[in-house]
Amino acid sequence: VVELAAGERHTCAREADGSVLCWGLNTSGQLGDGTTASRSTPTLIPWLVEVEELALGNMYSCARSYDVVKCWGWNGYGQLGDGTTSNRSVPTLVPGLVDVVEISASGYFDGTGRNGAHTCARRVDGTMVCWGMDYYDHQYLVPPNTNFSSPTSIPDFADVAGIAAAAGQNCARKTDGTLYCWGLNDSGQL
């Protein structure tokens, strides 16, 4: 195992050959094995090969192979990036998204039954795109409460060297070492 990623009650591991095994809760297909049966032991995901990075969120998962991204599981806010809000139990290509060098997934549960999630990707040219829920304070630096089911550019933002998507906010490290965060700030997290 060369990488381990944990989501909302599910876990995935990437092996040195790029294969992926997942286990845990699978009610929305977030394990990617084509079922919604939960697994208590690691299960090989046959549709994934030569994976270079994993990102798990709230009942969904994503993987980057070379410069493309596949996501699967719960898709209530479009966080799988396939242009729909339909759940997927197998890894599904995020169409039109290429030149990706990093991905980050988020989850959100507010204790009242409200769930949400969004995903972000950093491209080789230093730009950043995100998709999924935009419930709080301009996570996408566009008008709030607009969910996107396809990758959406973060406007006027370039030279990104690292990203982190979190529950209600995003952060990015630029090539000059400066750090920017935006979105929800109810506990000073920005």
Q: Could you give the CA distance from residue 151 to residue 20 in angstroms, rounded to a whole number?
A: 24
Q: Could you give the CA distance from residue 170 to residue 149 in angstroms, rounded to a whole number?
A: 17
Is pLDDT at 154 greater than 90 in this prediction? no
pLDDT at 109: 59
pLDDT at 28: 95
> Any idea which residue has 């304070």 for tokens?
137
Average pLDDT, the chain: 89
Percent of the chain at pLDDT exceeding 70: 89
pLDDT band at 59 (very low <50, low <70, confident <90, very high): very high
Is pLDDT at 132 greater than 90 in this prediction? no
pLDDT at 116: 63
Is pLDDT at 143 greater than 70 in this prediction? no
Lowest-pLDDT range, 60-64, 80-84, 162-166, 172-176?
162-166
What the block records as the tokens of 15 is 């092996």
The whole-angstrom distance between residue 20's C-alpha and the CA centroid of its chain comes to: 16
Going from the C-alpha of 106 to that of each of 41, 103, 132, 171, the distances in angstroms are 24, 10, 10, 12
Q: Could you give the CA distance from residue 181 to residue 190 in angstroms, rounded to a whole number?
A: 5
Percent of the chain at pLDDT exceeding 90: 67
Q: Could you give the CA distance from residue 117 to residue 79 in angstroms, rounded to a whole number?
A: 6
| Total length of the chain | 190
Q: Could you give the CA distance from residue 64 to residue 102 in angstroms, rounded to a whole number?
A: 8
CB 22 within 8 A of CB 1: no
